[in-house]
Amino acid sequence: MAKTKGRGVLKAVDGVIAITVNINGRDQALKVVSGEYLLDTLRREGYKGVKKGCDNGDCGTCTVLLDGRPVLACMMFAAQAHGRRVLTIEGLGTPDRPHPIQQAFVESGAVQCGFCIPGMVLATKALLDENPDPDEPAARRALDGNLCRCTGYVKQIEAVLLAAKRIKASPGGK
Amino acid sequence: MGVADKRVFTVVNHRVDKIDALALACGTAQFTDDVDIRGLLVGRILFSPYAHARIKSIDTRAAKKVPGVLAVLTHEDLPRVRHTTAGQGYPEPSPYDTLVLSEKARYVGDRIAAVAAETAEAAEEALSKIKVDYEVLPAVFDTMAAMKDGAPVIHDEEDSKNIPDVQHNICAKFDFEVKENEWFSEADIVIDQWYKTQWAQHCALEPHIAITYFDGDGRLVIRTSTQVPFHCRRITARVLQLPLKSIRVIKPRIGGGFGSKQEVLLEPVCAALTLATRRPVKLEFSRKETFISSRTRHPFVLRLKTGAKKDGTITDAHMEVYCDNGAYGAHSLTVMMCSGSHTLPMYQAKNSRFIGRSVYTNLPVGGAYRGFGATQGFFAWESQMDMMAEGLGLDPIEFRRKNYIRSGEGSPVFKAMGEGREGIEQKIGSCGMDACIDKGMEAFGWRERKKRNAKQTGVKRRGLGCACLMQGSGIPEVDMAAASIKMNEDGSFNLHMGATDLGTGSDTVLAQIAAEVLGISVKDIIVLSSDTDLTPFDVGAYASSTTFISGNAVKKAALHAREQILKVAARILDEDPEDVDLKDGKAVGKSGRSCSLSEVANTAFYYHDQHQIMGVASHTATSSPPPFAAHFTEVEVDTETGQVEVLSYVSTVDCGTAINPTLAEGQNDGAVLNGLSYALTEEMRFNAAGAMVNSSFRNYKIYSAGDAPPFQTILIPTYEPDGPFGAKSVSEIGINGPQPAIANAIYDAVGVRLFAPPFTPEKVLAALQATKKKRVPTSGR
């Protein structure tokens, strides 16, 4: 975790930059080319839950958390993540041990094709970390940057509110 | 009552969690692009910059020299096989007018050349070095102008097939008439109105993508985001002149389709690049390319001339539609016909006529899109119903109630108009329209809102609108689905189906049907869909067919397996098979003794009369039971800005037995919201040269969570005798309501009627100003 502070100056050698990013709690040394977007780096490194829906910052399917805040991985260079913490959907929970938000999305029927869901789940995580008790408009605002064509957002808003309730009721509130 | 006709369920009609939801929510479920393949090349397509141009020559020499480029293909490198990209049953009722890479540019975005390279950069550089010598031709962008004498002929090639009138750019035509009386002789009022609907794109969040490679045995594997794996195999084999058996199509998780992925677009190009390079190739559309070069909703010009008697009986329905198909004729006949076949039977006019033409223009290509012509048809019909009600001085809802088709009734339209051919006679089985209307009005508070709106003053005015709808459930005597279900030693089952879950939840719904028959939980069913090597045939996911047709196939396959299980269990329990039932994962005899399914499977595998317990079945339907729906909305119109805000929207839908109520609601929610943004914002726009100018989510507005107005779905249960456990379809119908319901509500609010969606502030304001001018004498100004 030491590398998350004091990022220093990055240098490209033959167009290749060596960076260290803390991904899902583990420091990873990565080689990226200058101009490479974080989305492409993450997918190449196996984080396939980060989706590419538009590659233009419009759809939200590539949402990851950067130091806890939602960002669009298609809109930032990989090098900008150097020395910082990235959380992808794989780091939140697994099918064996899902995070309460993931469980709430399943139980609310919020998942149809599911392509937008990793981004939505992470947007929800960012919301609930900041505001553990959101009302409906706050939930709606939190998902506003994540487009979905399948659901009409009805059950996804329900999922956000259900997740909040579950997390609040759980010991430690996390 | 046997298990096949049961009405009380343990799994069906329950809110079972979607079986793939957890993997999707955890990001582990694999879409097409979520596998790493060594040596994967990047494919790219060169698109035409001109709307209409003859290609005099293509020089690929410089492109081939770019380091890292392994193949550059043009139409000269591929077999010249005219085909349709429409993934329909064979023979497809669409003209064979397309080449994988075109020999002539017919729209901005037409496929001209393809490259495969080690990197995206090399591929892009190669595209920029392909020299195409174009002779630019006059283009036509207007549906009606394209049919006129002397219009540019878009398909002047000699080898295209099944184009009814090449010279007038007509790629499909269909006429039909039933007449009991002289036209309009019985009518007290006649309304004659033209409508025009707009271009729209499906906007599945996962763009079109395919990956092709040779497996270890030299067979071509196509991993692709498709709604139609078996049609994809057939069409790709034909156009590349490969033996069908040399191709395997794998459908992984799909990120939505809505009809766009019923097209076989990328697969032949990608496969051709793999054939040329002997390497794995990935070909995906960017979002911009998805807008321009995949498929769209056909825009329509429609005319409705209808007559009715004073008592509210509809006497005459003359429907004329001109379907703009863009540059190729995909789904030209079927979408055009469905605009009539799904609407005309709804209200039973004694004189009924349909005149349909699908027309080529030099614009992007129409394809299947949720609603499939019924969306366009119902916009006109449900607007017209309000206008007729007003003309007759009747309540618009009661006017609809008087005329809609009832259970037990047929329509000559069912027989006359199928999808691309003659239809079949059918009588309506279940019809929950009355309950849809009653429950919808009540939940919406129609009467209370009406009263509240009676006296309004001020800049913002509110109004109410409704629409009644029907659709179909699959294509009768055309669509076929098959399934197999195989028992394992632990009492679990492998359910293999060609049915294609593209995010709809059909894997779950179909597993629920099997589980109901076998008395088990969906957790004991391992679903595989679909892989042309491993799963039985299914036409694929379209025409609202999966629950109804594939569901019946799965039910039959499960019954077939059940029969075998009962025989083995009866022997174990020392009872007659007819006295044994399956429940809670066990076989239970009359005596009350039971054995586990695991014991049954092990007995069959290892002890007596050794065999694999396995059910197999196919299903085709002889009817297409319509789901019914009623939609209610209130809007507020700002008379100074023209802004329309939807305050409330309630939709009721009769889909028979909802196999999974949560998923059924989700289907309707998604369809309605898509319909809402189609009514108010969505429109593909083109410049004077025919190039789309708003090909991004930033400029082509689909609703986000923040844009979505408050809306509610209410399921109205009925029992469809022909459906699996009483089910009908649900996926498409909801998209047909918002345009007419909102148009009617705008009229109710401010007295202007809009005939050309989307209902943007500009259009509303212009219409308001036009009315004002009419009302206020302008002399002296």
pLDDT above 90 (res B756)? yes
* Closest CA in chain A for residue B661: A109
Stretch B241-270: mean pLDDT? 98
Judgement on whether residues A120 and A152 belong to the same structural domain of the protein: yes
Sequence-ordered list of residues with C-beta below 8 angstroms from that of B14, at least 6 positions apart, any chain: B512, B660, B661
Q: Which two structure tokens, joined as six digits, stand for A153? A: 């957002």
For residue B26, the chain A residue with the least C-alpha distance is A94
Is B665 part of the contact surface with chain A (CB cutoff 8 Å)?
A: yes
Do the Cβ atoms of B28 and A109 come within 8 Å?
Answer: no
Q: Do B666 and A109 touch (CB under 8 A)?
A: yes
Compute the nearest-CA separation of A145 from chain B (Å).
Answer: 7
Which residues of chain A from 11 to 50 reach within 8 Å of chain B, CB to CB?
43, 46-50
Q: Tell if the CB–CB gap between A155 and B673 is shorter than 8 Å.
A: no
- How far is the C-alpha of A51 from the C-alpha of A45, rounded, in Å? 13
Taking only the tens place, the pLDDT of each residue in B670-725 is: 999 999 999 999 999 999 999 999 999 999 999 999 999 999 999 999 999 999 99
Nearest to A145 by CA among A86, A91, A72: A72
Alpha-carbon distance values, B627 to A9, A67, B432, B571, B621 (Å): 63, 49, 8, 44, 15
User: Chain B within 8 Å of A135 (Cβ-Cβ)?
Assistant: no
Whether residue A82 contacts residue A20, with contact meaning beta carbons closer than 8 Å, is answered with yes
Whether residue A121 is predicted with pLDDT greater than 90 in this model: the reply is yes
- Given a contact cutoff of 8 angstroms between Cβ atoms, the answer to whether B31 and A113 are in contact is no
pLDDT in tens, B720-751: 999 999 999 999 999 999 999 999 999 999 99
Q: Please answer yes or no on whether A53 and B21 come within 8 Å at the CB atom.
A: no
**How confident is the model at residue B418, as a pLDDT?**
84
Distance between CA B485 and CA B557 in Å, rounded? Answer: 6
How many Å from the N-terminal Cα to the C-terminal Cα in chain A?
22
A5 belongs to a structural domain: no
Indicate whether A63 and A84 sit together in one domain: yes
For residue range B180-224, list pLDDT tens digits in order: 999 999 999 999 999 999 999 999 999 999 999 999 999 999 999
> Token match 């456990």: residue?
B725
The nearest alpha carbon in chain B to A145 belongs to B704
Which of chain A's residues have a Cβ under 8 Å away from the Cβ of B202?
A: 149
Alpha helices in B278-407 (DSSP H): 287-293, 332-341, 374-392, 396-403
Q: Are residues A80 and A119 in the same domain?
A: no
Counting one residue from chain A and one from chain B, the pairs whose CB atoms sit within 8 A come to 186
Q: Are residues A78 and A57 in the same domain?
A: yes
Q: How far is CA B39 from the centre of its chain?
A: 36
Q: Are B388 and B306 in contact (CB under 8 A)?
A: yes
Q: Are A33 and A56 contained in the same domain? A: yes
How buried is residue B40: exposed, middle or buried, by Cβ count under 10 Å (0-12/13-18/19+)? middle
Is B495's pLDDT higher than 50? yes
Q: Select from B203, B505, B713 the Cβ nearest to the Cβ of A112.
A: B505
**Quick one: closest CA in B to A151, which residue?**
B670
Interchain pair B665, A109: CB under 8 A: yes
A1: in domain = no
Chain B residues within an 8 Å CB radius of A86: none
The secondary structure element, H or E, covering residue B740 is: helix B738-750
Amino acid code (one letter) for B633 = T
E strand intervals along B238-280: 247-250
3-state secondary structure of B712: strand
Residue A51 lies in a domain: yes
B672/A155 Cβ within 8 A: no
Question: So what's the pLDDT on residue B274?
Answer: 98
A61, A95, A140 ranked by CB distance to B26: nearest: A95
User: Which site among A62, A111, A136, A144 would you substitute to test the B interface, given the most B Cβ atoms closer than 10 Å to its Cβ?
Assistant: A111
3-state secondary structure at position B367 = strand
Q: Point out the domain boundary residue: A91, A125, A142.
A: A91
Q: And the tokens for B155?
A: 């398909």
Is residue A7 situated within a structural domain? no
For testing the chain B interface, which of A99, A115, A116, A117 should be mutated: the one with the most B CBs within 10 Å?
A115
> Do B503 and A150 make contact, defined as CB atoms within 8 angstroms?
yes
Let me know whether A83 and A22 are in one domain.
yes
pLDDT confidence of residue B778: 41
Tokens of B424: 């079949």
* B22 contact residues in A (CB cutoff 8 A): 95, 98, 102-103, 106
- Report pLDDT digits (tens) over A25-62: 999 999 999 899 999 999 999 999 999 999 999 999 99
Chain A positions touching B665 (Cβ under 8 A) are 109, 154-155
Domain of A58, CATH number, reads 3.10.20.30
Alpha carbon of residue B62 to chain centroid: 42
Q: Do A110 and A74 sit in the same domain of this protein?
A: no
Picking from B26, B253, B697, the nearest residue to A94 by CB comes out as: B26
Are A22 and A82 in the same domain?
yes
Q: Which chain B residues have a beta carbon less than 8 Å from that of A47?
A: 27
Phi-psi region of B256 (alpha: psi -120 to 50; beta: other; left: phi over 0): left
Q: Is residue A56 in some structural domain?
A: yes
The answer to whether the CB of A167 falls within 8 A of the CB of A132 is yes
Q: Which of A91, A124, A155 finishes a domain? A: A91
Residue A88 pLDDT exceeds 60: yes
pLDDT value, residue B31: 98
B634, β-bridge pairs: B464, B648
- A3 occurs within a structural domain: no
B699 interface with A at CB cutoff 8 Å: no
Show Cβ contacts of residue B457 under 8 Å, excluding neighbours closer than 6 positions.
none
In this predicted complex, what is the ipTM? 0.96
Picking from A94, A121, A149, the nearest residue to B670 by CB comes out as: A149
The confidence score (pLDDT) of residue B780 equals 39
Residue A118 lies in a domain: yes
| B window 203-242, beta carbon within 8 A of A | 203-207
Residues in chain B with CB shorter than 8 Å from the CB of A48 are 27, 30-31, 33-34
Residues in chain A: 174
Q: What 3 state SS string does B544-573 have?
A: CCHHHHHHHHHHHHHHHHHHHHHHHHHHHH
Helix-, strand-, coil-residue percentages of chain B, each rounded to 5: 30, 25, 45
Identify which of B357, B420, B354 has the alpha carbon closest to the alpha carbon of residue B381: B354
Count CB atoms within 10 A of the CB of residue B736.
33
Tokens of B614: 């396995």
Which domains are delineated in chain B?
3-30+480-620 (3.30.365.10), 41-137+203-293 (3.90.1170.50), 141-201+301-420 (3.30.365.10), 429-471+624-781 (3.30.365.10)
- What confidence score (pLDDT) does residue B183 get? 98
Residue A1 has pLDDT above 60, yes or no: no
Mutation test of the interface with chain A: which of B17, B20, B24, B665, choosing the one with the most A Cβ atoms within 10 A? B24
CA gap B521, B766 in Å, rounded: 58
Are residues A54 and A111 located together in one domain of the fold?
A: no
Q: Does B581 touch chain A (CB under 8 A)?
A: no
Q: Which of residues 53-112 of B touch A (CB under 8 A)?
A: none
- Here the CATH number for the domain that contains residue A145 is 1.10.150.120
Average pLDDT, chain B: 97
Q: Of all residues in chain B, what percent carry a pLDDT higher than 70?
A: 99
Task: Determine the pLDDT at residue B70.
Answer: 98
Q: Are residues A87 and A106 in the same domain?
A: no
Q: What pLDDT shows up at residue A166?
A: 97
Are the Cβ atoms of B670 and A48 closer than 8 angstroms? no
Alpha carbon separation from B386 to B115, B568, B748, B781 (Å, rounded): 54, 62, 10, 35
Chain B, window 258-317: residues with a beta carbon less than 8 angstroms from a chain A beta carbon: 258, 286-287
- Of A25, A56, A91, the one marking the end of a domain is A91
Count of CB atoms situated within 10 Å of the CB of B529: 25
Q: What is the pLDDT of residue A173?
A: 61
Asked whether the beta carbons of residue B698 and residue A98 sit closer than 8 angstroms, the reply is: no
Examine the domain organization and report whether A54 and A105 are in the same domain: no
User: What is the C-alpha separation between B585 and B160, in angstroms, rounded?
Assistant: 57
Closest chain B CA to residue A48: B34
* Least confident span in B460-464, B477-481, B569-573, B601-605: B477-481
CB contact under 8 A, A149 and B253: no
Measured CA to CA, the distance from residue B745 to residue B450 in angstroms comes to 11
**Residue of chain B whose alpha carbon sits nearest to that of A156:** B705
Record: contact B705-A51, CB cut-off 8 A = no
Kindly determine whether residue A154 and residue B286, on different chains, have CB atoms separated by under 8 Å.
no
- Residue B711: list chain A partners with CB under 8 A: 152, 154
Range of the domain at A151: 100-169
Distances (CA, A) of B519 to B19, B417, B422, B487, B558: 17, 41, 40, 13, 10
* Cβ distance of A140 and B705 shorter than 8 Å: yes
User: Do A87 and A115 lie in a common domain?
Assistant: no
Determine, for residues B27 and A107 on separate chains, whether the beta-carbon distance falls below 8 Å.
Answer: no
The whole-model pTM stands at: 0.97
Q: Quick one: angle between helices B738-750 and B661-680, nearest 10? A: 50
Phi then psi dihedrals of residue B564, to 5 deg: -70, -40
> In Å, how far is B281's CA from the nearest CA of chain A?
16
- Domains held by chain A: number: 2
Chain B residues with CB under 8 Å of A49 CB are 26-28
Is residue A2 situated within a structural domain?
A: no
For chain B, report the end-to-end CA distance as a whole number of angstroms. 79
Residue B422: predicted pLDDT: 85
Strand, coil or helix: what is B582? strand
